Structure 1
Amino acid sequence: MFVKIASSVGTAALVVGALLGIASPANAETNPNCSQVTQIGETAYIKSGGTTVASVKQFKGCNKNWAYTYVWEGFRNSHSGTWWACSGVSTSSGLADYKCGGNHQKEVWSSGANTLSVCTKAYGQLEWSSGEGYAATDQRC
């Protein structure tokens, strides 16, 4: 009896783990300009209707703040037309750093902003032929 229960619990754990793996986006978050970055603040999400289409994160490292936008696979697979993502670091004075990727580029890092001494948010934008969405992370000081 114990073996049968343990087997059922183990199978359930595998199924739940597999479902969680499908539900969350996978990405490397490797900054091409700074090898040691740390996420600061919460992740923000760009949505289209009720569907999440991209993630926006803020990082610090190499004496700069960085914005990062990642376009989710579900959006990429369902939008064959033109679309592009952008990332920027926002301060009370406006965007201190803003960069857009090329058509169908799934992740975009900002250029890096010298803003560690001020409050910042990461700003992400996704535009496509029939719409656009944007999100900003929580402010970090």
Structure 2
Amino acid sequence: MRSTRFSKGALVAATTALVLLPAGAAYAGSGPATGPSQKLTRTSAPSPEGNPASKRAQASGVCDDAVQIGERALIKRGSETLASVKQFYSKKCHENYAYLWVWESFRKTAEPYDVTLGVYSYDDDSVHAAKAWKATKQQEFWSEGANTVEACTSAVGSLRPAGSPQAYQAFSQKRC
């Protein structure tokens, strides 16, 4: 009787040890090299993150090396998020850009809305590269380049839903 209990205990211990042992390890760079066809390619598709290579960005003259600076801001109506506002910077072109992305949860049911967008300078208390769109269902918006790199700035955007007397706005984190 005692040997059976010992055998069962040994079997459980051995099985547990095998389950807990890793079968192998993977290390960065230890796998096969990524072929050219598998590497990420730059797309011209718009995205919530902001894609300076998108068609709308290129139409606004956004330099393709633009990167987000500062924290994004959300345009809200009560608890509903309508859009995101971000600021981008291009080292190559030495410009700032404002970016606004209308959230799909709002856009899919909304009537055409109005949008304004620009780069606010704290140094001269004005909005640079301001643009406006009336009665649109567009999702992605870019300002033109603002010559404000030497100033403290934020991207500022507003969205006025159809039928609303007021626009809702937000501004990204101040960057100096």
> How many Å apart are 1:28 and its aligned residue?
5.7
Equivalent residues of 1:101, 1:107 under 8 A apart: no
Which one of 48, 51, 54 corresponds to residue 30 of structure 1? 51
Which residues in structure 2 correspond to 1:121-132 (within 5 Å)? Answer: 121-131=154-164, 132=167
- The answer for unaligned runs of 5 or more in structure 2 is 1-15, 17-46, 53-57
Task: Tell me the SS of whatever aligns to 1:122.
Answer: strand
> How many Å apart are 1:52 and its aligned residue?
0.8
- 1:16 equivalent in structure 2: none
Are 1:119 and 2:152 matched, yes or no? yes
Which one of 118, 131, 134 corresponds to residue 169 of structure 2? 134
Count of residue correspondences: 117
Are 1:96 and 2:146 matched, yes or no? no
Write the distance in 1 (CA, Å) between the matches of 2:149 and 2:107. 33
Write the distance in 2 (CA, Å) between the matches of 1:129 and 1:101. 13
Write the distance in 2 (CA, Å) between the matches of 1:39 and 1:28. 9
Bigger relative contact order, structure 1 or 2 (CA pairs below 8 A, ≥6 apart): 1
- 1:8 equivalent in structure 2: none
- 1:57 equivalent in structure 2: 86
Indicate how the Cα distance of structure 1 residues 137 and 28 shifts in structure 2: closer, same or farther if over 3 A, else same. Answer: closer
Are 1:47 and 2:87 matched, yes or no? no
**Sequence identity of aligned pairs in percent?**
38
Equivalent residues of 1:85, 1:106 under 8 A apart: no
Equivalent residues of 1:84, 1:105 under 8 A apart: no
Larger Cα-atom Rg: 2
TM-score in terms of structure 1 length: 0.76
Write the distance in 2 (CA, Å) between the matches of 1:30 and 1:86. 19
Equivalent residues of 1:99, 1:108 under 8 A apart: no
Equivalent residues of 1:123, 1:134 under 8 A apart: yes
Task: Tell me the SS of whatever aligns to 1:130.
Answer: coil
> How many Å apart are 1:140 and its aligned residue?
0.4
> How many Å apart are 1:104 and its aligned residue?
1.0
Which one of 51, 75, 80 corresponds to residue 106 of structure 2? 75
Write the distance in 2 (CA, Å) between the matches of 1:120 and 1:104. 28
- The answer for unaligned runs of 5 or more in structure 1 is 3-25
> How many Å apart are 1:88 and its aligned residue?
0.5
